[in-house]
A and B are shown apart, each in its own frame.
Chain A
Amino acid sequence: MRRSRPKPRPEDGIAIRVVVLAAVMASAWAALNETATGTTLHVVVLAGLPLGFLFSYLTRQRTGWLLKTLLTVGLLLAFAQFLRSVGQLQGESVSDVQTPLAELFIWVQLLHAFDVPGRRDLMFSLTSSAVLAAIAGVLSVSLGAAPFLVVWAVASIAGLALAHRSALADLPGLTPPFTPTGSGTGGTGTGRPDLGWFRPVVATIAIVVVLGAGLFMVVPTAGTARALAFPASLPRLIAVPNAGGLVNPSLGPGSGGSDDGSSDDSRGTSFGYFGFAPTLDTSVRGRPDDTLVMRVRATSPDFWRGQTFDSFDGRVWSRTDDDPKPIRSRSPFFFQRVPLDGPRPDDTSELVQTYYLEETGPNVLFAANTPDQLYFTDRTVYQLPDGSLRAGVQLERDATYTVISHRADATAETLRASATDGAETPAEITARYAQAGDVPPRVRDLAARITRNAATPYDAVRALEGWMARNTRYTLDAPRPPRGANAVEQFLFVDREGFCEQIATSLVVMLRSLGVPARLAVGYLPGERNPFTGLYEVRADDAHAWAEVYFPGVGWQGFDPTAPVPLAGDSSGDAAGAGALAYLSARLPEVPAWLPAAAVTGLFVLAGVTVGRALVRRRARRRAALARPWGAIQLERFEAFGAARGRPRRPSETVPEFAGALAGALADPALVRAASILDRELYSGDPVTPDDRTTVETTLTRPEPRPEPR
């Protein structure tokens, strides 16, 4: 059988093989780090890939049909293993295919590594590595992938540049030129050492980094609106003791972290939040540290709500109706809107949130209000009367679930308009959330006085928030209210300083005193957005309490005087790279204060020196070109004269020697005289006469001999 196409030239370059190997290994390792695979694949990446590339280099000249056959068999086996892994998923989320897919790609890379004889094969490997890097990027929720992706990017750029150089090297080049001695032009270069491919690659990387960073600052964030499936996984299925009940291992045993516990304020871990408990004592504030408790992938920030409280006794919040309704289904779960959420608003937008738990916490399923769908591995979840969700299993570290919420597109205008557009507050909401109860009179009077000019409930909320911002202070060191004192009264009239639970409680109580339905919600603030992963990094100290206020026709909206979270309708999509510099600078090791300024100044000085040097060189080149002496010009012509006649000047020849040889070859003794004149002009220091110059110029303008026919 004849080949339909000529076999591509084997690639002899070692540098290109090394950088492609680096790119492949970096992408494979990045993917491995994001998947729960065994050590086999780690060995494959660490040892197999270099071995494969070495084998390919050594056998690049051979056809290797036997090798191709073996590799084909290997590919089929890898694909069979992939199908087997997918089959074992047994109805789990489609997104779980990512791990077997990554493994399949790694195997393909390994097998292909043994058959990369040519440049085209190497480029295929490089392209495949991009796929692996993309898979790693999809799976990664942290900065852990960054080093690998940086290596991959640098190696890929170098690989592309080297491949292009290799392609150019396939072409013949200009025959090494005759190098005119004593002249400033001609020759192969500028006289400076040729840094080869390294300098263009470095320059390219610098340009890509600068332009890419600029682009990163303006492109929109990644979204999740059109995904077919969402991540959901549980490391273990451990049912909670009391089905539908609340457990919070992070608070420790007997800490009130369960429905049958007391309101003890002791903490089991450094990151436990006492708000994720059946009751919440507003006189107590724990001090959760900055432990990363979860990451949230979402297109816009929101309160990640855990649960709400409706009943306040002057110090402690509790729920009057804690009757979780079990919902059994396969993922995804679909939830009915609970009556206490009111009717569904007309204008809503979807917010997809994927929660990646970094620490074991309560079995509360966090969600932006109002959750509609849940992607979750267990078959049973519980919905509370207020619409919040609980898992029937413990939510341990590495658990992942996805919630799709529909948020009312609320803006300040729509919230104001809700008071006048005829929508009614459902009676059960009014009954449960708008009763003032035993609010101290002076709290009631204060609320009325602050909101006397407020035309709508929304204006009342804003007025109260404004008043508290002006007259109270947020602090975690607020004194504990005396026993028996009303926490709100103590906060508003005595201490005037407190923490979020007290501030939010005061807002809720004052709103209720005005007849506005309100409740206390606990959960987490959005956290800091990691601009590289696109995920919000939620830390223990983001645990928070805020007020939720009901607006007829719109639904519940969160308000917080201490932590502004935009309304859903006011949430503008940030650029993907927004806050990237702040994020990075916050994570850089501490540096002396003068160092950033010195670094910037140094960069400017370096740029100035570089530009100045380039300008000076350019000017020098121009001057040299303009001021070239007659002798140098004629010598160059002399050498070109000889080269055109098949007798270029040899590096070791003096001008007279060259002229003698040329004169003999061309039978033209005039050349010897011309060379003698040139030699005198160039090296004796005695200027030649105008007649001598004419002699040289005339000699060198003689026509070349015509090639004689054979």
Chain B
Amino acid sequence: MAMLLTILARTTGSGWLVVMASGLVPLFVLGAVAPVVPLLRAGVTLGFPSDAMVGRAVVVEVTIDGRARGLMLRLRDPATAWIHGEGPSSGTVPAVPARRGVWTAVVVELRSAAPFGLVTWRRTVRVPLVRPLEVAPVPIAGRAPLSRHDPRGDAAEGGGSRRGGETVRGIRAYAPGDPYRLVHWPATARWGDVMVRELDDDVPPRLVLVVELPGDDPDAAEELASRAAGLADDALAAARQVVVATVEATGAVTAVVETPTDAGRRLARAVPGSTTSPAARPGDVVVRLGATGDGAHP
């Protein structure tokens, strides 16, 4: 417009147009340059909770330092909507992680068009987090199997000392009503009386999750992690002990998880790769979820 006014002034000789153009040029220059100021002034710090879950909003504490008016900002990943911020200020904004993983820094996109909205400048800031944000997969509801042949649960393999999910506590003489399948034939032969097994069936079997994420199919990996989270949650809800074996950036890790949060953290850190089956104890139900297929393995 300033250019147009200048041309008009040159053709009409109007001094007022020169005055207007002289005012419009700095106005446009100001409108083009001024947005840089809040972008340079603004410093952003973020406060994330330690744990999050894919697709679930988490509350992010955003602090804008420095006098920075008319800012627009958003977090790229985990993503937030564009929000309006004035520095210095602080507040919260919901962010929704779109994928599983561990974040040590978050990219914040800043925009400013202040004070007129004529030209928009942008700046991206990589904000390191005070502590890593671990985004767990969304659990896919599943039933953790109680035995290798438990038709309710995912395919599993039995542990070496467990027989059908039953633990033999001792041998005693047969009593009327004992099921026929509990007869212990070697002891019967030795003692001459019918002897039956005494079972300790109050302790649920331990669930061992072996999670091997495929590297060539991210979607499949996410689904696998979600299934593992669902099984872990189910087992933990049944007061079963859960062991998760995964591959992390530092190598294979096998450890007991005590809460869904722990399980989520382990799965958040999981990266594609193969791991060896952990040493299973008698009675353990080992569930292998991985690139080579789910189910029992020799």
A58 CA to B115 CA, complexed, in Å: 28
A169 CB contacts on chain B under 8 angstroms? 84
A219 CA to B15 CA, complexed, in Å: 11
B158 CB contacts on chain A under 8 angstroms? none
* Residue with the greatest number of chain A CB neighbours at <10 A, chosen from B63, B86, B89: B89
Contact indicator A707/B117 (Cβ below 8 Å): no
Contact indicator B89/A134 (Cβ below 8 Å): no
A699 beta carbon closer than 8 Å to chain B: no
Contact indicator A145/B91 (Cβ below 8 Å): no
Q: Mark each residue of chain B from 243 to 286: 1 if its CB lies under 8 Å from any CB of chain A, else 0.
A: 00000000000000001110011000000000000000000000
The stretch from B44-52, B101-109, B159-167, B179-187 touching chain A is: B44-52
B12 beta carbon closer than 8 Å to chain A: yes
A149 CA to B17 CA, complexed, in Å: 11
Contacts A134-B8, A160-B116 given; indicate if A643 touches B14 (C-beta within 8 A): no
Contact indicator B12/A643 (Cβ below 8 Å): no
Contact indicator A708/B51 (Cβ below 8 Å): no
Contact indicator A173/B16 (Cβ below 8 Å): no
Question: Which A149-173 residues have a C-beta within 8 angstroms of B?
Answer: 149, 153, 157, 160-161, 163-165, 167-169, 171-173
B21 beta carbon closer than 8 Å to chain A: yes
A706 beta carbon closer than 8 Å to chain B: yes
Contact indicator A164/B114 (Cβ below 8 Å): yes
B265 CB contacts on chain A under 8 angstroms? 706
The stretch from A210-218, A652-660, A681-689 touching chain B is: A210-218
A535 CB contacts on chain B under 8 angstroms? 15
Chain A residue, CB-CB nearest to B52? A707
Contact indicator B89/A168 (Cβ below 8 Å): no
B129 beta carbon closer than 8 Å to chain A: no
B25 CB contacts on chain A under 8 angstroms? 211-212, 215
A297 beta carbon closer than 8 Å to chain B: yes
Contact indicator B13/A186 (Cβ below 8 Å): no
Contacts A168-B72, A200-B115 given; indicate if A175 touches B21 (C-beta within 8 A): no
Contacts A163-B117, A640-B61 given; indicate if A188 touches B91 (C-beta within 8 A): yes
B199 beta carbon closer than 8 Å to chain A: no
* Shortest CB distance A35–B (Å): 15
Question: Which B1-39 residues have a C-beta within 8 angstroms of A?
Answer: 1, 5, 8-23, 25-27, 29-31
A212 CA to B9 CA, complexed, in Å: 16
A530 CB contacts on chain B under 8 angstroms? 15
- Interface residue count for B (Cβ, 8 Å)? 67
The stretch from A221-229, A359-367, A408-416 touching chain B is: A221-229
A532 beta carbon closer than 8 Å to chain B: yes
* Shortest CB distance A206–B (Å): 11
Q: Mark each residue of chain A from 188 to 209: 1 if its CB lies under 8 Å from any CB of chain B, else 0.
A: 1110000000001100100111
B9 CB contacts on chain A under 8 angstroms? 222-223, 534
A244 beta carbon closer than 8 Å to chain B: no
A208 CB contacts on chain B under 8 angstroms? 23, 26-27, 30
Contact indicator B12/A222 (Cβ below 8 Å): yes
* Shortest CB distance B262–A (Å): 9
* Residue with the greatest number of chain A CB neighbours at <10 A, chosen from B1, B14, B26: B14
Contact indicator A137/B59 (Cβ below 8 Å): no
* Shortest CB distance B228–A (Å): 13
Chain A residue, CB-CB nearest to B59? A644
Contact indicator A226/B15 (Cβ below 8 Å): no
Contact indicator B261/A705 (Cβ below 8 Å): yes
What is the predominant secondary structure among interface residues of chain B facing chain A? mixed
Q: Of B50, B83, B86, B264, which one neighbours A172 at CB under 8 angstroms?
A: B83
Contact indicator A703/B114 (Cβ below 8 Å): no
Contact indicator B233/A709 (Cβ below 8 Å): yes
B205 beta carbon closer than 8 Å to chain A: no
A704 beta carbon closer than 8 Å to chain B: yes
A224 CB contacts on chain B under 8 angstroms? 11-13
B145 beta carbon closer than 8 Å to chain A: no
A136 beta carbon closer than 8 Å to chain B: yes
A576 CA to B136 CA, complexed, in Å: 68
A354 beta carbon closer than 8 Å to chain B: yes
A133 CA to B233 CA, complexed, in Å: 71
A140 CA to B93 CA, complexed, in Å: 54
Q: Of B59, B83, B116, which one neighbours A164 at CB under 8 angstroms?
A: B116
* Residue with the greatest number of chain B CB neighbours at <10 A, chosen from A185, A207, A643, A707: A707
A32 CA to B213 CA, complexed, in Å: 76
A66 CB contacts on chain B under 8 angstroms? none
Chain A residue, CB-CB nearest to B5? A134
B139 CB contacts on chain A under 8 angstroms? 709
A8 beta carbon closer than 8 Å to chain B: no
Contact indicator A171/B20 (Cβ below 8 Å): no
A531 beta carbon closer than 8 Å to chain B: yes
Contacts A177-B91, A215-B22 given; indicate if A534 touches B260 (C-beta within 8 A): no
Q: Of B16, B29, B88, B90, which one neighbours A137 at CB under 8 angstroms?
A: B16
A640 CA to B62 CA, complexed, in Å: 11
Contact indicator A640/B69 (Cβ below 8 Å): no
* Shortest CB distance A500–B (Å): 29
Contact indicator B72/A709 (Cβ below 8 Å): no
Contact indicator B23/A212 (Cβ below 8 Å): yes
Contact indicator B18/A219 (Cβ below 8 Å): yes
A57 CA to B116 CA, complexed, in Å: 22
A272 CB contacts on chain B under 8 angstroms? none
Contact indicator A207/B26 (Cβ below 8 Å): yes
Contact indicator A227/B260 (Cβ below 8 Å): no
B19 CB contacts on chain A under 8 angstroms? 137, 149, 216, 532, 576
A530 CA to B12 CA, complexed, in Å: 16
Q: Of B59, B84, B93, B118, which one neighbours A643 at CB under 8 angstroms?
A: B59
A175 CA to B72 CA, complexed, in Å: 14
A168 CB contacts on chain B under 8 angstroms? 70, 72, 84
Contacts A215-B25, A644-B59, A706-B264 given; indicate if A134 touches B17 (C-beta within 8 A): yes
A207 CA to B61 CA, complexed, in Å: 36
Contact indicator B91/A212 (Cβ below 8 Å): no
* Shortest CB distance B84–A (Å): 4
* Shortest CB distance B138–A (Å): 7
A646 CB contacts on chain B under 8 angstroms? 59
A299 CB contacts on chain B under 8 angstroms? 13
Contact indicator A186/B90 (Cβ below 8 Å): yes
Question: Which B70-120 residues have a C-beta within 8 angstroms of A?
Answer: 70, 72, 81-86, 88-93, 113-118
A485 beta carbon closer than 8 Å to chain B: no
A176 beta carbon closer than 8 Å to chain B: yes
Contacts A212-B23, A644-B59, A706-B53 given; indicate if A140 touches B30 (C-beta within 8 A): no
Contact indicator A644/B61 (Cβ below 8 Å): yes
* Shortest CB distance A221–B (Å): 7
A352 beta carbon closer than 8 Å to chain B: yes
A43 beta carbon closer than 8 Å to chain B: no
Q: Of B22, B61, B259, which one neighbours A576 at CB under 8 angstroms?
A: B22
Chain B residue, CB-CB nearest to A167? B117
* Shortest CB distance B88–A (Å): 7
* Residue with the greatest number of chain A CB neighbours at <10 A, chosen from B18, B69, B89, B260: B18
A137 CA to B93 CA, complexed, in Å: 49
* Shortest CB distance A86–B (Å): 18
A-B pairs with lowest CB-CB distance, top 9: A534-B15, A174-B91, A137-B16, A211-B26, A706-B261, A706-B51, A164-B117, A224-B13, A222-B9
26 sample A-B contacts, Cβ–Cβ < 8 Å, listed by A number:
A136-B16, A137-B19, A153-B23, A160-B116, A163-B117, A164-B116, A167-B117, A168-B72, A171-B83, A200-B69, A200-B115, A204-B27, A207-B30, A222-B15, A223-B11, A227-B11, A532-B15, A533-B14, A534-B16, A705-B51, A705-B261, A706-B49, A706-B51, A707-B52, A707-B53, A708-B260
